[in-house]
Amino acid sequence: MIDGIYSRLKNEQVRRAVEIQSAIRMEMKRFLHERGFVEIPPVIISPLTDPLRHETYEAHINYYGHRYSLTKSMIFHKQLALLSLNKIFSFSPNIRLEPLERRETGRHLAEFTQLDLEIRDATREDVMSLVEDMLVHILSSLRKKYDVEAGVPKKPFERITFAEVYRRYGEDFETLLSKEKKEPFWIIDMPIHSREFYDYEYKPGVLRDMDLIYPMGFGEAASGGEREHQYERIVDRIRRGGYHLEDFSIYLEFAKRGLPSSAGIGIGIERLTRYVCSLDSVEDATLFPKVIGEFSI
């Protein structure tokens, strides 16, 4: 057990990936500061976190009689932060105790970091264009210093609707398309049942949201969208999502007082590093991976 962890710490491929990841983070910060974003510190424990559309084991802490969750994503805090600032980002550690069947995807850890950003009064298109510019910036900067595997993508990335990819490729559309494509691309307009209640429903059953997908089989890079921000609409979406309103009472208290309209996205840092360095697994994009189902330090 310790032997494996020890040898990872001396592995050259991992060392290089971690160095490149450090450069990626620096370029992200540089880019976002130039665009007027303010970095906010991550929230690690809170009574509010993302319910997520897929199952993970719960991670709670009881502290003086209050129950906190370890952050699964900062979505709600991003909306609240926009009461104070117009454009925000955070390098947000997420704890998602993923089930064992996700171990072999090459894309899942139980602890990872998202670059999570949100913009007040923005559209989905604003966010997609920003992320495209940011990836072009990161990859061109990296290529000045490192002989990285991923090329500089060309703007604008292709946009394909969920309905179209589903019709052409069926259930396994993401894997099939990701293997087929040579450049990153967007899947837009997810159906309501595939996402959480905070993505904006712009026509019945269809959300104004998006996933960024890496080419060459690397799969999902990022998820984002325009957000629901009106109290009545949020209540309706929570109900239709099959949840109890009581489970979101704190969030609803804020929503009742008024949330700004916004759009944003979360980009997995380990997945981006994996793509840039063409690694087999996100486990090799960090020194201390929390490997699903295995003892990790």
Give residues in contact with ligand AMP (CB under 6 A). 73, 96, 98, 108-109, 112, 114, 220-223, 266-268, 270-271, 282
Residue 286 binds Mg ion (CB under 5 A): no
Task: Please tell me the distance from the alpha carbon of residue 50 to that of residue 198, in angstroms, as a whole number.
Answer: 9
Task: Please tell me the distance from the alpha carbon of residue 48 to that of residue 248, in angstroms, as a whole number.
Answer: 8
* Minimum distance of Mg ion from residue 182's CB (angstroms): 22
Please identify, using beta-carbon distances, which residue of 71 and 73 lies nearer to ligand AMP: 73
Residue 223 binds Mg ion (CB under 5 A): yes
222 makes contact, choosing from Mg ion, ligand AMP, none, with CB < 5 to 8 Å by partner type, with ligand AMP
Peptide bond into 153 cis (omega under 30): no
Quickly count: other Cβ atoms within 10 Å of residue 40's Cβ: 19
Task: Please tell me the distance from the alpha carbon of residue 178 to that of residue 164, in angstroms, as a whole number.
Answer: 15
Residue 90 binds Mg ion (CB under 5 A): no
Task: Please tell me the distance from the alpha carbon of residue 32 to that of residue 228, in angstroms, as a whole number.
Answer: 24
CB 282 within 8 A of CB 108: yes
98 makes contact, choosing from Mg ion, ligand AMP, none, with CB < 5 to 8 Å by partner type, with ligand AMP
Residue count (the chain): 297
Residue type for position 241? G
Contact letters for Mg ion, residues 181-220 (x by CB under 5 A): ----------------------------------------
142 makes contact, choosing from ligand AMP, Mg ion, none, with CB < 5 to 8 Å by partner type, with none
Please identify, using beta-carbon distances, which residue of 80 and 292 lies nearer to ligand AMP: 292
Binding residues vs Mg ion (CB under 5 A): 223
